[in-house]
Homo-oligomer: A and B are copies of this chain.
Amino acid sequence: MAKLRAGIDLGGTKVQAIIADARHKIVGEARYATPTTGGADAVVGALVAAVKEAAELAGVETAELAGVGLGAPGDVDDKKGTIDNAGNLAGFDHPVPVAAMLKEELGVPVVRMGNDVSVATAAEFELGAGRPFRSLLGVFWGTGVGGGLILDGQEWSGRGGAGEIGHMVVKEGGARCQCGRLGCMEAYAGRRAMEAEAKRREDEGEKTILFKLMRSRGRDRLTAGIWNRALADGDKVARKVVDRAYVALGAGVASAVNLLDVEAVVLGGGVGTKLGDSARARLEQEMAPHLFNDDRPPQVLLVELGDLGGALGAALLVKRG
């Protein structure tokens, strides 16, 4: 019998671990909050705890696993087994030898790592919405906007930094992005940028229920659910900021399609997944005016693996290894 594999999706807010069998069926899973104090040791501790819990639910010892795959933000170096420059993770401002730490703590023979967005795109390509296609663009709409590319059935990572669709310029001299540059798509469409724009409008006297909703729900940020609620209530600021985000997403994704002529665009990410088909349909609509080959637009689909795509994709890294 083929061995089980673990996959971990490490994000700024959560750690999602799964145990998958040879047919990619999930036989155990666990989710932890990402520690924000305690540095890299605490974060790796959460990875270890999540895998142990998922393995226990699957009825397997971690030492019996074929290996662990990890999708992570920042500079992920699979050869060296390190993660560096992960701004959303406390303690990852220098290379952290995550692979060695996981091997030791879990007793597994193999740890493979990949960029979180690439890993999630590969999962959709192999197991999800991208199965029918040979080329696709994954668009992960969350705090920022990340992109993953499959071209002729292979991941395309360039020199290691491809897929920065959120930093394609959609408006020369436009809004300042979190990255410091002007006019990036993410400066309009990223959840963080949307929140900053709503705040700016409130500060200038426009009325909005967005921040009231945030406080009443005990949240510290404007989640996709809060945006949805405000839109349903006819909140004008929410409407303007969301429209602005879709216009930027449409221009940026259409530009990528004009350059690459992929068969499909697969929309995911925290915001994309939460807003679901309305986001998919609106993205398709906002892309249309910019598509050069407008007689044959790409298919625009939602991710099928949802929240677990990242962890399933991470487990695929082991299969390949």
A165 to B262, CA, bound (A): 14
Q: Which residues of B contact A160 (CB under 8 A)?
A: 261
Contact A259 B163 (CB under 8 A): yes
Q: How many protomers of this protein does the assembly include?
A: 2
A258 to B156, CA, bound (A): 13
Q: Which residues of B contact A170 (CB under 8 A)?
A: 169-172
Report the interface size for chain A: residues with CB under 8 A from the other chain. Answer: 45
Q: How far is the CB of A219 from chain B (nearest CB, A)?
A: 29
Binding site for B on A (CB under 8 A): 135, 147, 149, 151-152, 154, 156-165, 167-172, 174, 179, 181-183, 247-248, 251-252, 254-256, 258-263, 289-290, 292-293, 296
Q: Which of A135, A179, A248, A261 is the most central at the interface, judged by chain B CB atoms within 10 Å of its CB?
A: A261
Using CB atoms, name the residue of chain B closest to A263: B159
Q: Which residues of B contact A262 (CB under 8 A)?
A: 158-159
14 sample A-B contacts, Cβ–Cβ < 8 Å, listed by A number:
A147-B259, A151-B151, A157-B261, A159-B261, A159-B293, A160-B261, A163-B259, A164-B293, A168-B255, A169-B251, A171-B171, A171-B172, A179-B292, A256-B259
